[in-house]
Amino acid sequence: MAQDLPLVHASWKPILDPVRSTIDTILEKISDQEIAPPHDQIFAAFHMPFESVKVVIVGQDPYPTQGHAHGLAFSVPADVRPIPRSLKNIFTELQSDLRISAPDNGDLSRWSHQGVLLLNRVLTAQVGFSNSHVGYEWQVVTDHICCEIGKGKVVAILWGKSAAEVSSFFKSAIIGVHPSPLSAHRGFFGSQPFSAANRILENLGVEPVDWRL
C-alpha cells in the first residue's frame, strides 16, 4: 500500500501518481537509513500548490551534513551555522545581481512562498555521504516532475551538470555553473540568474519573483 507523502500539497497528487510506484520503491529501500533530509521532510518542496510554480531552481542532491537538509534545494534551517558555502555563493550573486542584502540565515522558505520550487535532482542522501542515492532512480521522479512543470509558464534555473539534464523539459531555461566553491568562479558569479528569470517571467505575462529573503 502506498504510504502518505508528508508535506505534499494535494494539487501534486495527479502529478506524482504516475511515478508513485518508483517513489514507493525508493522509500522502501531507504526506510532503515539515516538520511538527509529526514524522512518526514523529503517532499517539503511540494508543500506549495502546483499551480503557483513559476520558477524552478534545480540542484544536485541534499546537503549530507546532519541537520542541514530540510527538503528545499540549497536551503538550510534558520539555525544552521555556518551557512553552507554554496548557499553563501548564491547570496553573493543575489546581492551582485539585484542589490539584495544577504540574509542572516540560510532558510529559503520565503522563495517557495513566491512560487519558486527548490528541487534537487536526487531528493535524498545518506547522512555523511554526498551523491549516495544517485543510483536510486530519483531522477526518474524528478524528470517526470520537470516535464509536467515545463508545460506551463515557468522559468527553470539549472545549476550544475546534473540539473542541466532536465533542460529539455523547459521552454525557458537558464543553465549555469553550480554555486559550489569548486566551480562558482567558473561562471556562476556574474551570471545574474535572478534578474534574468524575472525578465523572462515579465515577457510571459507572469508577475516576477520578489527575491528578498
E strands in 63-179: 116-120, 125-126, 155-159, 172-176
Q: What is the DSSP string of 52-87?
A: G--EEEEESS---STTT--SSTT---TT-SSPPHHH
> Which residues make beta-bridge pairs with 116?
55
Q: How far apart are CA 173 and CA 83, in angstroms?
A: 27
**Residue type for 78, please?**
A
Reply yes or no on whether 61 is catalytic.
yes
Q: 18 exposed, middle or buried (CB, 10 Å; 0-12, 13-18, 19+)?
A: exposed
- DSSP state at residue 173: E
Residue of 17, 61, 79, 107 marked catalytic? 61
Q: Which residues are catalytic, by number?
A: 61
